[in-house]
Amino acid sequence: MNKARVIRLMIFLCAFVLFSCSEKQYDTIDEKLESLLEEMTLEEKVGQMAQITLDVIGKGGSRYNSYEPFLIDTVMLRKAILEYHVGSILNTTNNYALTPVKWNEIISFIQQIAMEESRMKIPVVYGIDAIHGVTYTDGATIFPQQITLAATFNPVHAYNMARITAYETRASGIPWNFSPVLDLGADPRFSRQFEGFGEDPYLIEIMGEQMILGYEGITDSISSPYKVATCVKHFLGYSVPASGKDRTPAYIPENMLREYHLEPFKKVIDAGTESVMINSGIINGISSHASYELITKILKEELGFKGVVVTDWMDIINLHTRDKIAVDNKEAVKLAVNAGIDMSMIPYEFEQFCQDLVALVKEGEVKESRIDDAVRRILSMKMKLGLWENPVTKIEDYPEFASETSVKEAYEAAAEAITLLKNEYKILPLSKSVKVLVTGPNANSMRALNGGWTYSWQGEKADRYAQQYNTILEAIQHKIGGINVQYVPGVSYVETGNYYEDKDDRFSEAVQQAKKADVVILCLGENSYTEKPGDLNDLTLSHNQLNLAKEVAKSGKPVILVLNEGRPRCIREIEPSMAAVVQTYLPGNYGGDALADILFGDVNPSGKLPYTYPSYPNSLVTYYHKPAEEQKRAEGAYVYESDYNPQYEFGYGLSYTDFEYSNLRVSSKTISGNKPVEIFVDIANTGSLSGKEVVMLYTSDLYASITPDVKRLRRFTKIELEPGEKKTVRFELNARDLAFVTPDGKWITEPGEFEIKTGSLKQVIKYK
């Protein structure tokens, strides 16, 4: 930072101290809020509802991109804050990660203008997508993606990631995080499945709640300089479009919307999330950003949400340009704000939004009371964050930034998530004296290990920022010595803009080297992506990768298939010829190390699939499907063969040791009223290694007035057992856990029999 900038910032801080001392004192936040609202002009209120991206206020060729290194365009910044009263800024410059010092400098200058030069002295609230660590801060602790955390079935990892991310986000000077993602990952075609916690609503709500507590504090203490305001997304039904492609229409009956999609959001709203981002898509023909029913009636009134409702990227504009329900931008603004939107992620043409909304209020098309409600919510979040008292947090106050403890937490999350799906003849773990060929496009890529939203939107800059971490290849070399490791890519990724495709990269050489190795470690999957660039037309793994797998398998040497992917790509053609299959998901910067420890026996795998792994691209049925989806051809009868035939089932995952379930028992055979039933089961480690086991409790409604799911996950816990050790696990269920949603949207628990399942054990209880 140059000398002139230092002097300006010192003047700002001195002025801020004087302002703080002279500011009128209020007994409550509400008093201060109402006083501010009373003093604000309509234009100042509308500005608080505007959110722009950082490039808009950066020097560059246009407001759509800025120069590197980043420099603030003070003229544009003053225009945004002083003329249009913009209340929020988000994102990073040109999708580049910045150092904490640079973040501190940028946000300090923004707050200087807002709090020293503006009439109302209202601080800006800065937001960022720090979804698996502070993904836009160079040097931050990068964790596994959410889908990987889900595979741990251990909520402590969700809590720890959020806690550390909150700390390091604040070290960057940023107080607002667009996380967690609570979308139902029920369609593996969807390009953002990796951002969520998988296909099960209960798993999502448990992990999501822990992330809220980690980000905001158990006592909802976001005024702490170590906590951030959360923004859960994307409300509601975003992740199951009919086409499987991002931001395309979904068709979801109300009972399904409520039973599978709504519950996780209800859980985190009760836990205290400060903001909610709205679904970018269309449900049953209605654009979510224009849905009064969705935003106001369900979110704000039914769920009692008191925080800020924010759009996703350009989604008010999309009501006009994409969805064609508004004839121009002005009508789009009217529809969205009247539906209940509080803040618009514009993100570029802020003048138009502000001018249109002011005009709409003056014309009586939008009530000023709706504006007041939105601004009250926004200012309340800013006050809770303590932005008047502490507008910029500084890296020098965060000595634990990227600490060894944080790194250990990120590694352990990856190690507990990696899932062993196949292990013929117990080929794994491998001996450390074995000679291996490492091949495949994912073998030597930090980009592939991390996935999208890592240092940049599409994750394509990960190899630049993450050079100090180990790829899969490098981790294996460190583990067993480079002399025992031969590496030939065979297939590599080639960039085509934001997209990528496979290419031959010494394919024949890889096949020849396989014959000379003791074991082949074949690393296949996907390169990084998210959102529209991640859309695909075929869920099957690419032709080049499948061909590489087939050819190296012909060598006669055992092949360990390592999958590194954001969603399950179909491997039916090659799976039978693989000796072992290991799913790493997107394990982050320490995923290579964790995988090597598992492959060579220093860590016993304990991950479980958080989704159903399909066999075919058109067989995309979740584990909680209907009985009709399990019909088989029967001798002497014409019965349709149906669609549930997964490669691997939800909750599946092997260990290097063996666990035995016994003595399932219940405290009562009958459940009624508010009295819960207790369930007990004994788990023993009958193998020779210490191991962790995820104990899952399912229920099945045997008969119901509408066709029930074959089973539903109701509880889970993860335990660790030494060889020969036995533990008793206790669960508790109540009547609400046995309920379903009727076609008219009502929750009901019907009298009848319910089967309880854990492991291979079953018991029947009655509800009356």
Hey, which residues are catalytic here? 312
First-last CA distance in the chain: 71
User: Based on C-alpha coordinates, what's the Rg of the chain?
Assistant: 27
Nearest to 381 by CA among 88, 103, 585, 593: 88
The C-alpha atoms of residue 91 and residue 537 are separated, in whole angstroms, by 30
Q: What is the pLDDT of residue 639?
A: 61
3-state secondary structure of 368: helix
Q: Which fold has domain 3-397?
A: TIM Barrel (3.20.20)
For the segment(s) 657-767, the CATH number from 2.60.120.620, 3.40.605.10, 3.40.50.300, 2.60.40.10 is: 2.60.40.10
**DSSP secondary structure letter of residue 628:** G
- Which pLDDT value is given to residue 93? 85
Question: DSSP secondary structure string, 425-458?
Answer: GG-PSPPTT--EEEESTTTT-HHHHH-SSSSSSS
Task: Using CB atoms within 10 Å of the CB of residue 151, give its burial: 0 to 12 exposed, 13 to 18 middle, 19+ buried.
Answer: buried
Average pLDDT over residues 641-666: 94
Question: What does the pLDDT look like over 410-424, one tens digit per residue?
Answer: 999 999 999 999 999
Other C-beta atoms closer than 10 Å to the C-beta of 517 total 22
DSSP, res 54: G
For the segment 607-636, the average pLDDT, to the nearest whole number, is 89
What percent of the residues of the chain are helix, what percent strand, and what percent coil, each to the nearest 5? Answer: 35, 20, 45
Beta pairing, strands 752-758 & 436-439: unpaired
Any idea what the Cα angle at residue 96 is, between residues 532 and 7, rounded to 5°? 145
Is 121 within 8 Å of 443 (Cβ atoms)?
A: no
Cα–Cα distance, 249 to 281 (Å, whole number):
6
Residue 77: strand, helix, or coil? helix
Chain region(s) in the chain for CATH 3.20.20.300: 3-397
- What mean pLDDT is predicted for residues 617-622? 94
DSSP letters, 536-565, are -S--BPPHHHHHHHHHHHTTSS-EEEEEE-
Query: Closest Cα partner for 733 from 761, 698, 692?
Result: 698
* CA-to-CA separations, 669 to 453, 738, 766, in angstroms, rounded: 49, 14, 6
Q: Is the pLDDT of residue 60 over 80?
A: yes
Which helix (H) or strand (E) segment holds residue 592: the answer is helix 591-599
Given this model, what pLDDT does residue 417 score?
Answer: 99
Q: How large is the average pLDDT for residues 326-330? A: 98
Exposed, middle or buried by CB within 10 Å (0-12, 13-18, 19+), for 506?
Answer: middle
Range with lowest mean pLDDT among 268-277, 633-642, 712-721: 633-642
Q: Which structure tokens are listed for 493?
A: 């990724």
Helix and strand numbers (H, E) in the chain are 22, 28
> pLDDT at position 18, please?
42
Average pLDDT, the chain: 94
Check residue 94 and give its pLDDT. Answer: 82
Length of the chain: 768
Per-residue pLDDT at 29: 78
Is residue 697 within 8 A of residue 715, CB to CB? The reply is yes
What is the structure's pLDDT at 616? Answer: 95
277: closest CA among 315, 333, 244, 231? 231
- The pLDDT value recorded for residue 375 is 98
Nearest-CA neighbor of 215 among 174, 262, 180? 180
Range(s) of the chain covered by CATH 2.60.40.10: 657-767
- How is residue 322 annotated by DSSP? T
pLDDT tens profile 414-464: 999 999 999 999 999 999 999 999 999 999 999 999 999 999 999 999 989
Phi, psi for residue 125 in degrees, rounded to 5: -105, 125
Average pLDDT over residues 729-734: 97
pLDDT higher than threshold 90 for residue 23:
no
Q: Which residues, other chains included, contact 411 with Cβ-Cβ below 8 Å and sequence gap of 6+?
A: 590, 593, 594
Banded pLDDT at 16 (limits 50, 70, 90): very low
What number is the average pLDDT over the span 291-320? 98
H-state helical runs in 401-529: 404-417, 446-450, 462-465, 472-480, 507-516
In whole angstroms, give the CA distance from residue 282 to residue 391. 37
Residue 251 in tokens: 């068709």
What is the DSSP pairing of strand 88-90 with strand 125-128? Answer: parallel
State the pLDDT at residue 19.
46
- Tell me the one-letter amino acid at 124: V
| Angle, helix 201-216 to helix 155-171, in steps of 10 degrees | 40
Specify whether the CB–CB gap between 557 and 514 falls below 8 A: yes
Q: Do 767 and 668 form a contact (C-beta atoms < 8 A)?
A: no
Closest of 248, 230, 228 to residue 239, by C-alpha: 248
Question: In 313-386, at which residue ranges do the beta strands (DSSP E only) sit?
Answer: 344-345
- pTM score above 0.85: yes
pLDDT (0 to 100) of residue 513: 98
Please compute, for residue 184, the number of CA atoms within 13 A of its CA located in the half-sphere on the CB side: 24
What is the pLDDT at residue 8?
A: 47
Chain-centroid distance, C-alpha 120: 36
Return the pLDDT at 635.
60
What residue has token string 């190899």? 463
Question: Which residue in this structure is represented by tokens 């292990």?
Answer: 423
Residue where the block lists tokens 């854990």: 758
Its CATH architecture, for the domain 418-599, is 3-Layer(aba) Sandwich (3.40)
Residue 256 pLDDT class (50, 70, 90 cuts) = very high
Measure the CA–CA gap between 393 and 172, rounded to whole angstroms: 7
pLDDT over threshold 50, residue 21 = no
- In the chain, which residues fall in CATH 3.40.50.1700? 418-599
d(CA 715, CA 94): 43
Closest CA to 186 of 121, 127, 266, 242: 242
